[in-house]
Structure 1
Amino acid sequence: MIVSLLSLATAITEITPFWLVATAEEESAEPEGSIILAGVLLSLVAIYIASKIGGELCSRINLPPVLGELVGGVVIGTSVLGLLVFPEAGATAEDSLIMAFLEQTTALEPGTAEAVFEAQGEVITVLSELGVVILLFEIGLESDLKELLRVGPQAAAVAITGVVAPFVGGTAGLYYGFGVPAIPAIFAGAALTATSIGITAKVLAELGQLNSKEGQIIIGAAVIDDVLGIIILAVVASLIKTGNIEITNILYLVVSAAAFLVGTIIIGRFISPFLVGMVNEMKTRGELLLTALVFAFALAYVATAIELEAILGAFAAGLVLAETEKRKELEEQVVPVADILVPVFFVCVGARTDLGVLNPAVPSNREGLILAAFLIVVAIIGKTIAGYTIFGASEINKLAIGVGMVPRGEVGLVFAGVGSASGALSPSTEAAIIVMVILTTFIAPPFLRVVFPEPSEAEASKQEGT
């Protein structure tokens, strides 16, 4: 009996530590999980406040709100406040003000702060990448394939020249002139190809030139630019993944990206009636939006699976659904989703940008400043000369067409964000691209007002009527 009791006591003493340890692990894991959630929530609070303040300020001075979101990200990010910093950029928990705040207000221990910081950064990064997928889906949804076919050879010539000239000039200049490695040079050159249709269209409308010959060519060329730019982005991002820049590999990626886009559009024309019919039969809430997102995410997955970028699949899904009777309704329903996720992307682009590398007082930073100046010059000249590819039309204001193609806006920021997330860009090259995007977007509206004559009151009234 005594032996049995001793055996039982020994068993209990052996078992007890296991249960105590398991309970302790569960208790420690639960607070850590809730603290990660708290860190994500605080990060989103900072992101949304920065995006709204920056966006409102830019909107009041007739600049695109997306630039305000970018600048807001710079303010709360690495360059200024250090509220939103990321471990992949080399930051630690000690660099984050949010982590410091969590240590003061929650049960976060210094020993677990680094793990929480890394987990929080991963969640925000995923939300940011999801934001750019939604953004490209929205851009595709707002694009008009029929309009692309109607713009004619003049707009196509302007678009192709406006893509090829800055891409070749930027890539060759960085690689041969500044010794930038091939892949970062190609990525920076690709970032020069974009054109922000939204910025130019707004200024043209204010000037009463939206329906002019120049205005129609600019808008058509900008739409083509977006499509070509997204294909280039998918190709360059794939080059980063493979690390292979052989001509055969580049040709394969270009052909596969174009084939994927065209093939998806053709097949999508057969699938879209089935999707619309299925949505019409549904009785539950969110039937249109969720069906569209399933379609977009599925194509994004397919693009990723064949070594392209998810954003190309999302863009293709938008182009397909833009041809359906549900386009307007879907555009309205996607807006709230985009309002939640897209600012996360743009603010994170700004937050990751270290503008300190452009401080001229530091000798090692002067290379970044020179790169920024070079990219700005190529960005302006490369688009301006595109207007002069229109021959035999002396009555057309070719300089105005070229200037109208200059602003990079949100599309340029997509390039910078993808490059930053991939790790392909050095801090100086990334900051140079950001500066190029900001300056080209800022200078284009006033220059457009210079190269276009002021509209008469009659013309302005007619434009408002349209």
Structure 2
Amino acid sequence: MAHAFVSLLCIVAVALLAPLLSWGVPRRMLPETVLLILGGVVIGPDVLGIAHIGRDIGFLRELGIAFLFLMAGYEIDVNELRGTGGRHAMIAWIGSLALAFATVAAVGVTGGPLSANGIAIAIAMTSTAIGTILPILRERDLLPTAVGVAILNHGAVGEVGPIILMALLLGTRSTWQSLVILLAFLTISLLIVRFTDRVQRAGRRLVEAIHLGGSTTAQTTIRVTILLLVGLCTLAEVFELDVVLGAFAAGFILRYAVPDGDRQLEEKLDGLAYGFFVPLFFVTSGMAIELDLTASSLIYLGAFLVLLVLTRGLPVWVSALLERRRDGSRAYSVRQSLQIAVYSTTALPIIVAVTQVAVDAGAMRASFASTLVLAGALSVLVMPALGLALSSDADREPTAPALAAARGPAEASGGRAENAARAGAAGAGAAPVPAAQAQDGSRRRRRHDLGMHQYGLTASEARYLAERLAQIEADRAHWRAQMRQQMHLDREEAEQRRAVLRAQNRAHLREERAQLRELRRETARVYEEARRRRDAGEPRE
């Protein structure tokens, strides 16, 4: 147990130092995720050897990857996946899969393209580490932007697709048995969605109790989320599926249960996930990397990284380049398409999972698997840096041009509340602002002015438009709340009408039964009177 605590102490120390070092790098060229992996390599067995992955740390690592993909699934917009962006992402992934199998066949890997080794390599080349790039997108304020949405679409398909292929083609069961088990898992997930919907409709008091308990020491909202996550991960383990699939499904279900978001819940989940579990996963991923490299291993590493760019990045770039808006114009420029492709080429967790399955099945050598994992880690180092080099202030604008002009690039990227708070503090007589902060504020104002002039708006017009957009959003939220309340009242009224009809029906049945009993008694009385007269010899009437 002492070794486990020593390893955990080293891991949390790296988790604390990584963001501090990342903030010190100009333009944050080194993301926190990269520093966490590098820190894991340093404290791992191949460098300092002061931390090791035992059973205890290994279990925490599984929880870390579960939380990582819970947050990734929660960030995915299902409606966006159903739209044009989702279709383009699916087509790009199918193209990546075809290119991957063609590449494996052309290279001539051991066992051929349809062997477990060939399938594992092909699946590894089609993956996108959405969980890995999600914290990077958060750091760079790309999540609420059009580029960020496109990256999330490609990442979701590039994460779920390989997981399904792993379950179907690399499991110990036959393909048909694996398909039946996958369908059973999907059915149970859909039943949970239906159950959640029914609880929200019928169990109003239960839902209110959960929400009220979320702001007390009970923390019921977090406990319900953890129950959902652990339950689906347990179900995935029982079905011998990857834990990632259960965590992703939990994130989707959580987003379905909270379609408009819940700031309080999201802040608590961020603190729990990104404060401990997610950094622990990245650090332990670095600890698992073997640095015993030979000349052939370096050749394999470089070749796999190049093939990863060609098989995954190229189809994503072409797909983003061909995507069109409703008016027929390009959805993304050439630079933005390249940026989407670069981020989508980042791969690590699926490579770790698929190579582990292939090694356990005896289809892949452990040294070659470690080389592929190192190539995936190198993609996490290189691709986000290239994505940052390709970035521009225009990428931080939301999809609605008017909203971008009104808010300005800095505010549209998610800092609206913080900027307003700083402005209010300055107006209330706060302490003088340092020169560096004043320069940063002037740069933001210049960018804001450029955004207004780009759309032909004056400062007063932009303020009015921002207020009007905020009012429209408030009206929409109020309308949605009224519609939900009206639907609830309609359901209650319909239930009351059904209850009245059932009561009337029961009363009518009781009345009919009483009339029938009275008729039977009258018939019996007439019959008895007739028999008595017949016995007495009285004439019939």
Per the normalisation by structure 2, the TM-score is 0.60
Within 5 Å, which residues of 2 pair with 1:74-153? 74-86=41-53, 121-148=54-81, 152-153=83-84
Q: Which amino acid aligns with 1:373?
A: V
Task: Report the counterpart of residue 279 of structure 2 in structure 1.
Answer: 343
Q: CA deviation at 1:128?
A: 0.2
Indicate which of 348, 353, 363 corresponds to 1:418: 353
Q: CA deviation at 1:225?
A: 2.8
The answer to whether the Cα contact below 8 Å between 1:50 and 1:347 also exists between their aligned partners in 2 is yes
Q: CA deviation at 1:408?
A: 4.4
Q: Which amino acid aligns with 2:86?
A: A
* Distance change in 2, residues 1:254/1:301 (3 Å): closer
Q: CA deviation at 1:125?
A: 0.6
Q: Which amino acid aligns with 1:448?
A: S
Task: Report the counterpart of residue 490 of structure 2 in structure 1.
Answer: none
Task: Report the counterpart of residue 38 of structure 1 in structure 2.
Answer: 2
Indicate which of 320, 323, 327 corresponds to 1:387: 320
Task: Report the counterpart of residue 53 of structure 1 in structure 2.
Answer: 17
Matched, 1:268 2:268: no
Give the Cα–Cα distance (whole angstroms) in 2 for the partners of residues 450 and 328 of structure 1.
26
Matched, 1:436 2:379: yes
Task: Report the counterpart of residue 11 of structure 1 in structure 2.
Answer: none
User: Once the two structures are aligned, what percentage of the paired residues are identical?
Assistant: 20
* Distance change in 2, residues 1:272/1:142 (3 Å): farther
Deviations 1:262-319 (A, max 9, x none): 5544443334564634424657533221222112211222233334333322332233
User: Is the partner of 2:316 in helix, strand or coil?
Assistant: helix
The answer to whether the Cα contact below 8 Å between 1:376 and 1:436 also exists between their aligned partners in 2 is no
Task: Report the counterpart of residue 224 of structure 1 in structure 2.
Answer: 153
The answer to whether the Cα contact below 8 Å between 2:351 and 2:372 also exists between their aligned partners in 1 is no
Task: Report the counterpart of residue 333 of structure 1 in structure 2.
Answer: 268
Aligned length: 379
Give the Cα–Cα distance (whole angstroms) in 1 for the partners of residues 312 and 160 of structure 2.
19
Give the Cα–Cα distance (whole angstroms) in 1 for the partners of residues 340 and 310 of structure 2.
14
Give the Cα–Cα distance (whole angstroms) in 2 for the partners of residues 48 and 193 of structure 1.
23
Matched, 1:298 2:231: yes
Task: Report the counterpart of residue 69 of structure 1 in structure 2.
Answer: 36
Give the Cα–Cα distance (whole angstroms) in 2 for the partners of residues 347 and 306 of structure 1.
28
Task: Report the counterpart of residue 316 of structure 1 in structure 2.
Answer: 249
Give the Cα–Cα distance (whole angstroms) in 2 for the partners of residues 388 and 253 of structure 1.
37
Give the Cα–Cα distance (whole angstroms) in 1 for the partners of residues 105 and 40 of structure 2.
30
Give the Cα–Cα distance (whole angstroms) in 2 for the partners of residues 123 and 65 of structure 1.
25
The answer to whether the Cα contact below 8 Å between 2:128 and 2:346 also exists between their aligned partners in 1 is no
The answer to whether the Cα contact below 8 Å between 1:400 and 1:452 also exists between their aligned partners in 2 is no
Higher relative contact order (CA 8 A, sep 6+): 1
Task: Report the counterpart of residue 191 of structure 1 in structure 2.
Answer: 127
Within 5 Å, which residues of 2 pair with 1:391-410? 393-408=328-343
Task: Report the counterpart of residue 26 of structure 1 in structure 2.
Answer: none
Give the Cα–Cα distance (whole angstroms) in 2 for the partners of residues 400 and 249 of structure 1.
44
Give the Cα–Cα distance (whole angstroms) in 2 for the partners of residues 177 and 261 of structure 1.
40
Q: Which amino acid aligns with 2:318?
A: I
Give the Cα–Cα distance (whole angstroms) in 2 for the partners of residues 74 and 375 of structure 1.
23
Per the normalisation by structure 1, the TM-score is 0.69
Q: CA deviation at 1:437?
A: 3.1
Q: CA deviation at 1:129?
A: 0.4
The answer to whether the Cα contact below 8 Å between 1:403 and 1:448 also exists between their aligned partners in 2 is no
Matched, 1:167 2:103: no
* Distance change in 2, residues 1:198/1:38 (3 Å): closer
Deviations 1:313-351 (A, max 9, x none): 233223333333773222222223212122121111111
* Distance change in 2, residues 1:301/1:271 (3 Å): farther
Matched, 1:374 2:307: yes
Give the Cα–Cα distance (whole angstroms) in 1 for the partners of residues 181 and 101 of structure 2.
18
Task: Report the counterpart of residue 234 of structure 1 in structure 2.
Answer: 163
Q: CA deviation at 1:39?
A: 0.6
User: Is the partner of 1:406 in helix, strand or coil?
Assistant: helix
User: Is the partner of 1:163 in helix, strand or coil?
Assistant: helix
The answer to whether the Cα contact below 8 Å between 1:346 and 1:413 also exists between their aligned partners in 2 is no
The answer to whether the Cα contact below 8 Å between 2:151 and 2:344 also exists between their aligned partners in 1 is no
Give the Cα–Cα distance (whole angstroms) in 2 for the partners of residues 165 and 370 of structure 1.
20
Give the Cα–Cα distance (whole angstroms) in 2 for the partners of residues 376 and 344 of structure 1.
28
Task: Report the counterpart of residue 111 of structure 1 in structure 2.
Answer: none
Deviations 1:130-163 (A, max 9, x none): 11112222223333445555xx32x124312332
The answer to whether the Cα contact below 8 Å between 2:313 and 2:345 also exists between their aligned partners in 1 is no
Give the Cα–Cα distance (whole angstroms) in 1 for the partners of residues 379 and 346 of structure 2.
12
The answer to whether the Cα contact below 8 Å between 1:74 and 1:352 also exists between their aligned partners in 2 is yes
For the pair shown, the structure with the greater C-alpha radius of gyration is 2
The answer to whether the Cα contact below 8 Å between 2:129 and 2:346 also exists between their aligned partners in 1 is no
Give the Cα–Cα distance (whole angstroms) in 2 for the partners of residues 268 and 225 of structure 1.
28
The answer to whether the Cα contact below 8 Å between 2:321 and 2:330 also exists between their aligned partners in 1 is no
The answer to whether the Cα contact below 8 Å between 1:162 and 1:383 also exists between their aligned partners in 2 is yes
Give the Cα–Cα distance (whole angstroms) in 2 for the partners of residues 164 and 381 of structure 1.
12
* Distance change in 2, residues 1:78/1:294 (3 Å): same
Q: Which amino acid aligns with 2:10?
A: A
Q: Which amino acid aligns with 1:437?
A: V
Unaligned runs of 5+ in 1: 1-36, 87-120
Worse-superposed segment, 347-356 or 223-232: 223-232
The answer to whether the Cα contact below 8 Å between 2:210 and 2:221 also exists between their aligned partners in 1 is yes
User: Is the partner of 1:448 in helix, strand or coil?
Assistant: coil
The answer to whether the Cα contact below 8 Å between 1:43 and 1:84 also exists between their aligned partners in 2 is yes
Task: Report the counterpart of residue 22 of structure 1 in structure 2.
Answer: none
Task: Report the counterpart of residue 473 of structure 2 in structure 1.
Answer: none
Q: CA deviation at 1:240?
A: 7.1
Give the Cα–Cα distance (whole angstroms) in 1 for the partners of residues 167 and 96 of structure 2.
21
Unaligned runs of 5+ in 2: 111-116, 398-403, 413-541
Give the Cα–Cα distance (whole angstroms) in 1 for the partners of residues 15 and 241 of structure 2.
30
